[in-house]
Structure 1
């Protein structure tokens, strides 16, 4: 009937449009030619990606009968779901800090292991009932994809798999900064639609102190002053005195384990941030619990309004439920920086 034909056309059209997003996304990751990510100015659609997807679907329908096409598609879907469970095992097992999924699978690792076993069982059952042709066709597609990766992708990209990261992490005590973590950070920023504001830009270029052993607040202020003095052009002894005077007025420890030392300095348009981590704890006078995270703010009087906004940004970051745990587990200063940059706080306008 006409209604059935219209329904089929509508469903097919939506399927093509949805499927065309994959080549476009792969193109943005340099897995396919860049032309596939181009968007039509008139229609706002990835026209080259749609043409490629449509051509591929027409070729498959022409080369395979409907029954064989369904069998191959079913086998590939089951294999895809199996590999997704494998990916979850590897990503969670690698303990990469910047891997921050919105949803965390419960009963790990038993649930993904059960998923792998179930999908493998279904593939075996399908092969026994439908013959080996669908499985062989699927393997051919996989080999073609592997060949494409070797000839096209690998020469153009520099990426590290989560499996390689996990192996290196197991055999080496030194955890290094990998390209995979940078990639995951960018994915998280894109997913959460994070647009860097002024505070983020300050954090990206700020100094970070990762203190190896317990220290006093006075010694920490001395280290902070030596680090910030050359950055803003003020003598470090003067900065040291300002920090001590500010702490004498009232404690800058705002909650157990967190301090936000902040001072006003002479000058115009002066503002800087410094992050401090001390796993063993910083001893502040009159405070029982040692401080393990400190956000140091320093600014001129004309930046007083932004001073308050920066304090609010830090408060939102520190209120995230797993902030302390991630802060203490961070392996180096760049990981500490990422914790702040990947926070889910509301941002000011990018220019603000």
Structure 2
């Protein structure tokens, strides 16, 4: 089945709102009381610490999704990093976890509607599920705009709560700051960590984001900063205005604080904010979860029907409907509390894999892996993220880890029974291993390298102009031994003569005569010999890597050579090709990448993917 691209309609504001809306829900409106009961006023710092724990995964995921902005987010790059077995598990895990969080949010809305209006929980949950599915079927742009409106309404109410509550603070409530010592700070941080679980949901929408290299990492970072500030500020005000003994046992701590600040009307307003929070979480959950079946189907891990994209709204309607049916079934039939804990442990596991995948892609040194954003402090940031994730996973408890293992086993069984016989894909892990046997060239595969090149072309809207097509069809000479200039031109002339069915000797003479007029060695290691021949509509480029060097006059060495040959009617193309090569070779890393390239395709793609003026 031909893969259909999704429409790029999400902007920076949409990314910020999807990510923020996915985070602010139960972590803010339910957990602060429980956190206070364990750590006292230090719960404020526990929320900030939990946000800090997110940073390694945020940086790793930002790099990976700017290198591979495709539907499926973390599934897509874990699949490309570790192969189809781990990719199958990652895809199911992400879809399962996000779907359950959406279901939990829908139940949260239904609970509030039941309290406020007496609407039966099961009835409102069913209709809400249908509503969110319909919103997402209409289009990601509409769903994104809906998310923006909901998030700004939520933020406005929370900011009002912070400023109004600041006048009623009782600072004696903050003493002692650490009533049970420093120890509970870390356990509570792991407890509230899942409050930030929605931060990376937006990764699954990467294919539908305008300028993903800028908007994805920036939107996620701004969202984390804003959410961490809101969490800390709201918890600070709630502690300051509440009686400690009441706060410690409250499951509606923010509403209780609002009642003290502004009476029943303000408590109702905060209740509205809670509903908005659950709405944004549910909408973001369905929007992002539905992209995982789409990505897995493209990789043949799920039936091809999940690839269907509607002609009217350009949304993956089968994947959205499938996700909506699953959420409705979960709400109707299953005990959510335990499943949400399993989903939380799966998310932590995926965070660990995000950091491992980044390390794998960096160390595999695939030249077509070209992220627009690079994680700082590599690899220390990623190692810290892996260790932090393992710590949080242990904190979940042995029973939850056991249930998570059962779910992962089901993913393995699906892969063995359905996907294994349908998919053949290499990975960054295989590529890294192949580097160890690079001399056995018949063992080297190009799947992951070529796919990443295609992703970069789509991400950067690279136009396949005539120079681009010339490079794609160019001959490549990869010369290991040192050669004198004359011997090199003889070798290159034979290649060109065979391609053009011309006389090798006349081509050789033109190269020698051109070099006698003035040297084509432009700078240390780079030469661009170029000649004009008789005929019409003729133009060829030969790419040359000479590891030991081509010896030009005065014993100057060239390791990077672009040979250009064209007829006189192609003078404009000749000049454009020279200008393009000049731009490309000015890149500070060009020489190093050229000499390290593993094969001919990598040499071509260094040129094809380079930034330059096109047209």
Same fold? TM cut 0.5? yes
C-alpha displacement of 1:242:
0.9
Aligned to 1:308: 575
Q: Are residues 208 and 109 of structure 1, via their aligned partners in 2, closer, same or farther at CA, if it must alter by over 3 Å?
A: same
User: Match of 1:75?
Assistant: 345
Partner secondary structure for residue 553 of structure 2: coil
What residue in structure 1 maps to residue 403 of structure 2? 137
Give the corresponding residue for 1:53.
323
Tell me the SS of whatever aligns to 2:383.
helix
Matched with 1:321 is 588
* 2:464 equivalent among 196, 208, 214: 196
Structure 1 pair 118–81 and aligned structure 2 pair: CA distance change class (3 A): same
Equivalent in 481, 492, 502 of residue 213 of structure 1: 481
Q: Name 1:226's counterpart in structure 2.
A: 494
Change (3 A) 1:75 1:112: same
Pairs aligned (count) = 343
- 1:119, CA displacement in angstroms? 0.6
Task: Return the structure number with greater strand share.
Answer: 1
Q: Is structure 2 residue 511 aligned with structure 1 residue 243? A: yes
Q: Which one has a larger percent helix, Structure 1 or Structure 2? A: 2
Deviation at residue 78 of structure 1 after TM alignment: 0.4
| Corresponding residue to 1:100 among 359, 364, 370 | 370
Counterpart in the other structure of 1:149: 415
Deviation by residue 1:92-126 (Cα, 9 ceiling, x = unmatched): 23333333333333444333222211111111112
Which of 295, 300, 304 is equivalent to 1:30? 300
Q: CA–CA distance in 1 between the matches of 2:611 and 2:423? A: 29
> Residues 243, 173 of structure 1: CA spacing in aligned structure 2 closer, same or farther, 3 A cutoff?
closer
Question: Hey, what's the Cα distance between the residues in 2 that align with 1:245 and 1:38?
Answer: 60
1:164 aligns with 2:430: yes
| TM-score normalised to structure 2 length | 0.52
* Partner deviation per Cα, 1:149-192 (whole Å, 9 max, x = no partner): 22222222221233333334336643553133223333333333
State TM-score, norm by structure 1.
0.89
Show the counterpart of 2:357: 87
Give, in angstroms, the shift of residue 11 of structure 1. Answer: 4.3
From the CA coordinates, give the structure whose radius of gyration is larger.
Answer: 2
Larger deviation: 107-116 or 250-259? 107-116
Deviation of residue 41 (structure 1)?
1.3
8 Å contact kept, 1:60–1:69:
no
RMSD of aligned residue pairs (Cα, Å): 2.3
Structure 2 distance, partners of 1:79, 1:7, is 25
Following the alignment from structure 2 to structure 1, what is the Cα–Cα distance between the partners of residues 361 and 595?
A: 20
2:604 aligns with 337
Flag structure 1 segments of 5+ consecutive residues without an equivalent: none
Deviations 1:265-296 (CA, angstroms, capped at 9, x unpaired): 1111111110111111122225x641110111
Q: Alignment partner for residue 558 of structure 2, among 262, 287, 291?
A: 291
| Structure 2 unmatched ranges of 5 or more | 1-267
Task: Classify the secondary structure of the residue corresponding to 2:396.
Answer: helix
SS at match of 2:562: strand
The residue aligned with 1:263 is 531
Secondary structure (helix, strand or coil) at the match of 1:290 reads: strand
